[in-house]
């Protein structure tokens, strides 16, 4: 009797794991689809696993852009101090930006309103893309989507493939925030820091991209 009782208890203990295994095998495809949806669903507090992955991708892309060696065919000019960035843009017929290319401007906004900070960053990247188009003498197209303009910049060697990927990733994240995605201050700051690499590349272009023998003003802070 004791042996029979032990066997019954053992069978009971195995019943649920065996049932779960059978169900997993039979319904493997539907379960995968459900897990995929759950993986992208919003979690308490507005956190999203998929959103976090996009931010991580932006960070990784920014590291790749930063690691790219300077092109040998680009002339070398003195670095432009951030304090002179807007003045430099105006002097060559480009639109200045709200931040003057200083990403700390958006980090400060993110302290109180992360969504507003990313909205501002998105507008900044759009201004920079249009300025690049002017600088590289690309004919403007009426009501051209930003995605199309970025593709033309890449095709005309104004930006690299990595810069294009990073810009699109940051724009995607910013657009999600603008359209209601909950964003924390920390998340916004990570995206802004990824964008800092692009503004630095653009700042470098303001030095070498124009043949006007520009030099920074004397006694200007870096």
Give the pLDDT confidence of 47-64 residue by residue, as tens digits: 455 889 999 999 999 999
Cα 198 to chain center, whole Å?
A: 10
Cα separation, 174 vs 119, in Å, equals 6
Query: Per-residue confidence at 157, pLDDT binned at 50, 70, 90?
Result: very high
Cα separation, 56 vs 191, in Å, equals 9
Q: What are phi and psi of 125, to 5 degrees?
A: -65, -35
Question: What burial letters (b/e) apply to 61-100, b meaning 16+ CB within 10 Å?
Answer: bbeebeeeeeeeeeeebeebebebbbebbeeeebeebebb
Cα separation, 126 vs 211, in Å, equals 24
Angle at 150 between CA 190 and CA 131, to 5 degrees: 90
Is residue 18 over pLDDT 90? Answer: no
Query: Per-residue confidence at 148, pLDDT binned at 50, 70, 90?
Result: very high
Beta bridge partners of 48: 42
pTM: 0.75
The pLDDT value given to residue 165: 97
The pLDDT value given to residue 13: 47
Is residue 176 over pLDDT 70? Answer: yes
> What is the DSSP-derived secondary structure letter of residue 45?
G
Q: Using DSSP, state whether 48 is helix, strand or coil.
A: strand
């Amino acid at each position: 009797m004791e042996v029979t009782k032990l066997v019954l208890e053992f069978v009971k203990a195995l019943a649920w794991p065996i049932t779960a295994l059978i169900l997993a095998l039979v319904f493997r495809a539907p379960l995968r689809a459900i897990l995929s949806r759950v993986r992208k669903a919003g979690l308490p507090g507005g956190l999203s696993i998929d959103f976090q992955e996009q931010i991580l991708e932006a960070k990784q892309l920014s590291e790749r852009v930063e690691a790219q060696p300077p092109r040998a065919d680009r002339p070398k000019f003195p670095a432009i101090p951030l304090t002179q960035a807007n003045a430099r843009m105006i002097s060559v017929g480009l639109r200045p930006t709200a931040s003057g290319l200083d990403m700390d401007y958006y980090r400060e906004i993110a302290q109180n309103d992360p969504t507003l900070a990313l909205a501002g960053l998105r507008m900044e990247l759009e201004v920079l893309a249009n300025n690049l188009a002017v600088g590289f003498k690309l004919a403007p197209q009426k009501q051209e989507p930003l995605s199309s303009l970025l593709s033309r910049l890449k095709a005309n060697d104004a930006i690299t493939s990595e810069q294009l990927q990073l810009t699109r990733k940051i724009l995607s994240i910013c657009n999600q925030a603008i359209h209601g995605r909950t964003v924390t201050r920390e998340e916004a700051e990570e995206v802004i820091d990824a964008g800092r690499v692009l503004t630095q590349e653009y700042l470098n272009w303001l030095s070498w991209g124009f043949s006007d023998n520009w030099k920074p003003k004397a006694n200007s802070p870096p």
